[in-house]
């Protein structure tokens, strides 16, 4: 065989290898991900496309309930979704998630022990942890230094900052914060406790500027509000641009949560989606994501590439003592409609 013919054959084989995965399945041309907003460095999509020729197209949602409703309504165009812990449990129960082929995700071994066998998806059968964080209070440190949920829920304290406070537009998070203020579990199914939480939410509503899960940090930067209920990383990431912004876990405690990469049962590009999951589990890529989002990475091997400022921030990587004050949101089963009803009533009140 001529040298030039051999060269062409080798070239064609390499192109074929890049276009296929290890299991010989052809890669999709596009991958559609349904994600929280500002939750990945767009450069990660570019790097994936450069390496595998697969374009990643992102669409965003603002709450687990919005994600669930869309998938339940039959949205079939997504190959990857990013539900939180308790929502993974609900989606598994409803048969909405595909089972992962771990043979395509060798980098799953890079996960820290804490995230290798989560109670909401034992054995990581359906999902892989993506990022984790806490829910507390973000604030303009030139104006205030809140340390308790009372700044949001005590009517006298909230009245002082009327119209300058935000809350997440999220049923489990907002009812959960009110329950924490009252000293209850944020997973309670006790109707009397939930009624008390509803009254607390209704009492503070006149002082709330907006229920917002996408721009709560920007509203502080724009001097529209002074403090609010929100997710740790979004506030810390905003603090890079505006050093007045800071974040605290209230003394009564808050939420610790983990968001997860999962493949909807309807995806037609499962092995390409698994390739993407494997890609983001590489230590350098996982660190790149955390350096962008300011949320914790479940990939232990990423730590050496994460900015020390992030790694050493106790409100991002909390101490064991702080962890004891935090609670995971869990699926509350038959009490879910009650949570949703309370949230609808709170949102509708006074309109």
Site residues (CB under 6 A) for ligand SPD?
36-39, 84, 173, 231, 234, 257, 259, 329
Residue pair 345/203 in contact by the 8 Å Cβ criterion: no
Closest CB to ligand SPD among 173 and 212? Answer: 173
Residue entry with tokens 């399945």: 25
CB of 186 to ligand SPD, least distance (A): 10
Residue entry with tokens 């912004």: 245
CB of 232 to ligand SPD, least distance (A): 9
Closest CB to ligand SPD among 259 and 274? Answer: 259
Closest CB to ligand SPD among 89 and 104? Answer: 89
CB of 213 to ligand SPD, least distance (A): 8
Separate counts of helices (H) and strands (E) for the chain: 15, 10
Closest CB to ligand SPD among 233 and 264? Answer: 233
How many C-alpha atoms does 319 have within 13 Å on its Cβ side?
3
Nearest Cα neighbor of 168 from 233, 214, 226 is: 214
Please list, in sequence order, all residues whose beta carbon lies within 8 angstroms of the beta carbon of residue 287, skipping any fewer than 6 positions away: 297, 299, 302, 303, 304, 305, 306
CB of 328 to ligand SPD, least distance (A): 9
Closest CB to ligand SPD among 257 and 339? Answer: 257
CB of 237 to ligand SPD, least distance (A): 8
Closest CB to ligand SPD among 29 and 59? Answer: 59
Q: How far apart are CA 330 and CA 197, in angstroms?
A: 17
CB of 3 to ligand SPD, least distance (A): 54
What is the four-CA torsion angle of 254, 82, 47, 238, rounded to 10 degrees?
Answer: -30
């Amino acid at each position: 065989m001529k040298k030039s013919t051999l060269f062409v054959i080798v070239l064609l084989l390499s192109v074929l290898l890049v276009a296929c995965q290890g299991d010989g399945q052809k890669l999709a041309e596009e991958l559609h991900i349904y994600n929280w907003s500002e939750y990945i460095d767009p450069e990660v999509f570019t790097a994936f496309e450069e390496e595998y020729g697969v374009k990643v197209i992102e669409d965003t949602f603002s709450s687990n309930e919005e994600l669930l409703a869309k998938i339940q309504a039959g949205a079939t165009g997504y190959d990857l979704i990013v539900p939180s812990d308790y929502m993974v449990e609900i989606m598994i129960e409803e048969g909405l998630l595909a089972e992962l082929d771990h043979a395509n995700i060798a980098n799953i071994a890079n996960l820290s022990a804490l995230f290798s066998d989560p109670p909401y998806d034992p054995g990581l059968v359906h999902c892989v942890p993506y990022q984790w964080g806490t829910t507390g209070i973000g604030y303009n440190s030139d104006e205030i230094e809140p340390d308790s949920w009372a700044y949001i829920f005590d009517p006298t304290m909230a009245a002082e900052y009327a119209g300058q406070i935000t809350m997440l537009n999220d049923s489990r998070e907002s009812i959960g914060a009110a329950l924490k203020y009252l000293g209850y579990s944020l997973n309670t199914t006790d109707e009397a406790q939930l009624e008390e939480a509803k009254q607390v939410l209704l009492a503070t509503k006149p002082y709330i500027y907006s229920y917002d899960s996408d721009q709560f940090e920007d509203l502080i930067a724009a001097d529209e509000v002074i403090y609010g209920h929100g997710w740790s990383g979004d506030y810390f990431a905003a603090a890079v641009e505006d050093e007045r912004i800071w974040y605290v876990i209230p003394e009564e405690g808050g939420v610790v949560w983990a968001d997860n990469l999962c493949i909807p049962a309807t995806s037609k590009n499962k092995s390409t989606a698994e390739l993407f999951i494997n890609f983001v589990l590489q230590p350098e890529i996982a660190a790149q994501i955390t350096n962008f989002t300011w949320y914790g990475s479940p990939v232990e091997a990423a730590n050496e590439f994460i900015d020390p400022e992030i790694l050493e921030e106790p409100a991002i990587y909390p101490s064991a003592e702080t962890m004891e004050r935090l609670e995971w949101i869990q699926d509350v089963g038959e009490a879910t409609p009650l949570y949703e009803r309370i949230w609808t009533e709170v949102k509708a009140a006074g309109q």
